[in-house]
Amino acid sequence: MVNYSKAGLLGESARSQRTLTRRAALGWTLSAVCVSSVRATAADTSKPSLNENLNGYLTGLHDPVIIREGDRYHVFGSGGWAGKPGPTWRVSEDLKTWRDNGSPLEEVPPWAARLIPQANSVWAPDISYVDGLYRLYYSVSTGGSMHSVTGFATTPTLDRSSSHYGWTDHGLVIQTVEGGTYNAIDSNFVVDFNGNHWLAFGSYWSGIKLIALDRKTGKPATTNPHLYSIAYRPAPTGGDNPIEGAFIFVRGHYHYLFASYDYCCKKEQSNYYVAVGRSRDVRGPYLARDGHSMLDGYGTALIVERPWGSTRWRGPGHCGLMHDRDRDLIVYHAYDVEHDAAPTLRLAELNWTHDGWPVALV
C-alpha cells in the first residue's frame, strides 16, 4: 500500500476543505471568466443527438463510464443512487434502449468498509480492458470527506452468462485521510503514448492528481512515487474550489483531460459542467484552447447548460469517454427537471475541430 495522504508530501500546501452546502456566486463567476468555449470552427454538427433516442433504464445514474464488449455496450455508475450500495450497471446493444444488469459489486468491499466504516456505497467506477481483463477502479468515501480509498476489481468478461464471468477484488490502491491536501476518489485509468499506466484522481481541495501505476499489479509504481498535479480551481481563502471527475482520453498527438467544474448533486440547482484541456505529455501541463493552464482554473467548456437554470437538463457532468470503432462517445449524467430532477443517463457523439478540439453533439 502507498498512502499519498500525508500533509506536506511532495511540497503540497494545505488547501481549504470541501464544502458541499454552498453554491457561491463567485464559483460561477470564476467559471465564466476562466473557461473558453469551442465554437464555430467545429466539424459537422448536423448529426442527430444520441440523446434524442435514449429510453429504458436511464435514471438513478451518477458518474457514468462506458465500454463495449462485442456488440454490447456497458455503462457503470456510482452506487447508492438506485437504492443499492454497489455500482449501477446497465447495458444496451444499440445505444438507445438500456436495461438493468445488476451490479459488479453487491456491497462495499469488506476491506474498504473496515477503512471507511461510515461508507454505505461504492462511487465513481472506471472501466478499462487491460491485458485480457476488464478492470474496474472504484472509490469508497463519505460526503464532504477526504477520508477515502480507491481499489479495483477484475473479470475476464462482462458477459454474466459466461462460465468465465466473475469479479476478483484486488483491494486498496490509494488512500487519503483527514488533514491531507487532496482526495482519493473519482479515479481514471489511462495508458499514455509510451504504454505507461497511470491513474488520475481527485475532488476539490488541491485538485486533480496523477500517479504512475505498476503494469503488473495495477497499483502505485514504486519506481515512480511522484504525485503530479494536473488541474486545480483557485478559490479565495475559505471558499470552495469545485473540480473533480477527471477522465484522460488519448487521441492523435494529445492527451485530453476532461474534468467537471462547479456543483453536482443539487438536483435542479446543480451547475456542474464539463471542461477540457490537452497536453502532449500525460503529466501535463493541460492547456485550454486559449492556451491557459487547467492548473490555474482554466479549461475549454464542452458540455454546459446555458443560460444556467433555463433548460430541462441541469448540471451535465462527470463524464466518461470511449473510442467506438469509427467514432468517439461521451457519457455523462444530468438532472431532468421534468422528472423530479432525477440524475439521468446522457450520451453524445464527439466531433473534432480542424485543430483537434472536441465538440459534443448533445
Residues with a catalytic annotation lie at: 63, 244
| Whole-angstrom distance, CA of residue 269 vs CA of residue 279 | 33
295 near 229, Cβ under 8 Å?
yes
CA angle 18, 24, 25 (to 5 degrees): 150
What spatial distance separates the first Cα and last Cα of the chain, rounded to whole Å? 41
CB atoms < 10 A from the CB of 82, how many?
A: 22
Q: In what order do the strands lie in the sheet with 72-77?
A: 55-56, 97-100, 88-92, 72-77, 65-69
* 138 in Cβ contact with 150 (< 8 Å): yes
* Distance between CA atoms of residues 328 and 349, nearest Å: 6
Q: Which residues pair with 198 in a beta bridge?
A: 190, 212
* Whole-number Cα distances in Å, 291 to 33, 34, 56, 294: 14, 11, 41, 9
Cell triple for 138: 472504484
- In the numeric block, which cell numbers belong to residue 211? 500517479
Residues in contact with 95: Cβ distance below 8 Å, sequence separation at least 6, in sequence order = 50, 73, 329, 347
Cis peptide before 285 (omega within 30 of 0): yes
In the numeric block, the cell 474496474 is attached to 136
The Cα–Cα gap between 2 and 221 comes to 9
Spatial CA neighbour of 50 closest among 60, 41, 58: 58
Are 244 and 203 in contact, with CB atoms under 8 Å apart?
A: yes
